[in-house]
Copies of this chain bind each other. A is one copy, B any other.
Amino acid sequence: MKPEDFEIMDDVDYDIAWCPGCGNFRIRKVLMQALAELDLKPQEVVMTSGIGQAAKMPQYLRVNFFNGLHGRSLPLALAIKAANPELTVIAESGDGCMYGEGGNHFVHTMLRNPNITVFAHNNMVYGLTKGQASPTSREDFETPVQTADRGGVTNTPFNPMALAISMGATFVARAFIGDEDKSKDLMKKAISHRGFALLDIFQPCVTYNKLNTFGWFKKNTYYLDESHDPSDKIAAFGKSLETEKLPLGVFYSDPGQPTFEEESTVYRDDKRPLFQRDVDFDRLGNLLQSKI
C-alpha cells in the first residue's frame, strides 16, 4: 500500500478544518505512511473517534470510521473489534476526549486488553472549544476559564503514561510529532502490538497553546534509550513521573497477555465475525423445551 491509498481529501468537497501549522497535519501524514507501510487495506481499517480537533482525523482519511460522541471512542472501538476481530481498529482522539470526558472508558478498556490501538493527541488544551485547559494542561497554564487572576490551572496534570502503566495497559508509549520518523515508528509498533496499545502524541496547538509549542516540546523531551527496559513496570512508572524532561518512546510493553476477543468463548471454535453467523434455532428449540 502507498500513503496515497489513504488519501480522501482529493475526493471530497470539504477541506481540512485544522489551523494552518497545527501539529495535526503532521500526524495525518505520518499515520498515512504508517498504515501504508503496515500494508493495511483501507477496507480493513476502522477508526473510531470522539469530538474535538484531533477527533476529526478519520474524516480526513480513506478508511471506515465511526466518529462518535465526545469521550466515547473506546467503547466503540472495543465493540467493533469484538464483533469482528478481523478488522484493525484504531481509536484516535484528543487529550480532553480520551482522558477527560472519556476517562472512565480509558481506565476500564485497558483492564480488558482488547487488541486495539489508541492515538491520543496531547496538545494540553481543548482546541475545538477554544482554549480551555485540558486534563493534561500544565500547572499555571492560563486560559479564559483558568484565568490569570486565579493562577491559571491549579489541578495536577493528568499523567496518561502513569495511569496506563498502573491499569495494566500492555503497550504504553509517547511520541512527539515534531519528529516524524520516530513517530511513524511508534505508530507502527502500537498498531502491530497484540493487545491494548496507547500512544500519547505530543501535538502542538498553534492557536490556543502558546506555552507548549513545537519549540517547547523539542526542548522538554528526550527519547528513552536502551538503558530503559520496557518490560520493567516499576521502571516504566518511574519514567512516567519525570517532569524535568518528558521521555518519549516505549515506556512499557507486555505483548504476552491474552486479549479481550481471545478470552471470549465466542471465537474459541469459530473464527467468523458475528455478522456471518445465524441463530441456531435447534438449540433455541431445546432451550425452550428445557423450560417445560
Binding site for B on A (CB under 8 A): 100, 103-104, 107-108, 110-113, 135, 149-151, 154-159, 162-163, 165-168, 233-234, 237-238, 240-241, 258, 260, 263-265
Copies of the chain in the assembly: 2
Question: In the assembled complex, which residues on chain B have CB atoms less than 8 Å from the CB atom of A107?
Answer: 103-104, 107, 158, 163
Given contacts A163-B166, A166-B166, A237-B234, contact A135 B151 (CB under 8 A): no
A151 and B263 in contact (CB under 8 A), knowing A103-B104, A156-B168?
A: yes
Minimum distance in angstroms from A264 CB to a CB of chain B: 8
CB distance from A104 to the nearest CB of B (A): 4
The answer to whether A237 touches B104 (Cβ under 8 A) is no
Q: Which partner residue on chain B sits nearest A241 by CB separation?
A: B233
Task: Give the complex CA separation of A240 and B163 in angstroms.
Answer: 13
Are A113 and B166 in touch, CB under 8 angstroms?
no
14 contacts across the A-B interface (CB closer than 8 A): A100-B108, A103-B104, A104-B104, A108-B158, A110-B156, A111-B156, A150-B264, A156-B167, A159-B166, A159-B167, A162-B166, A234-B234, A234-B237, A234-B238
Main secondary structure of the interface of A (DSSP, over half): helix
Please report the C-alpha to C-alpha distance between residue A103 and residue B100 in the assembled complex, in whole angstroms: 11
Known: A154-B258, A162-B166, A166-B240. 19 other contacts (CB 8 A): A103-B104, A104-B104, A107-B163, A108-B155, A108-B158, A112-B155, A149-B265, A150-B265, A151-B263, A154-B263, A156-B167, A159-B167, A159-B168, A162-B167, A163-B167, A233-B241, A234-B234, A234-B237, A234-B238
Tell me the smallest distance from the CB of A159 to a CB of chain B, in Å. Answer: 6
Find out whether the CB atom of A156 lies under 8 angstroms from the CB atom of B238: no
In the complex, A112→B100 CA distance in Å?
13
Chain B: minimal CB distance from A72 (Å): 12
Set of chain B residues within 8 Å of A167, measured between Cβ atoms: 156, 158-159, 162-163
Contacts of A241 in B (CB 8 A): 233-234
Instruction: Report the bound CA distance from A240 to B156 in whole Å.
Output: 21
Give Cα distance in the complex from A290 to B246, angstroms: 45
A240: chain B residues within 8 A (beta carbon): 166
A159 closest partner in B (C-beta)? B166
- What's the least CB distance linking A262 to chain B, in Å? 9
Q: How far in angstroms is the closest Cβ of chain B from A176?
A: 21
Identity of the chain B residue whose Cβ is nearest the Cβ of A101 in the assembled complex: B104
Query: How long is the Cα–Cα vector from A254 to B135 in the complex, in angstroms?
Result: 21
A107 to B168, CA, bound (A): 16
CA distance A150 to B266 in the complex (A): 9
Instruction: State A166–B252 Cα separation when bound (angstroms).
Output: 15
Taking the closest CB of chain B, its distance from the CB of A43, in whole angstroms, is 30
Q: Given contacts A104-B103, A162-B166, A234-B237, is CB(A156)–CB(B113) below 8 Å?
A: yes
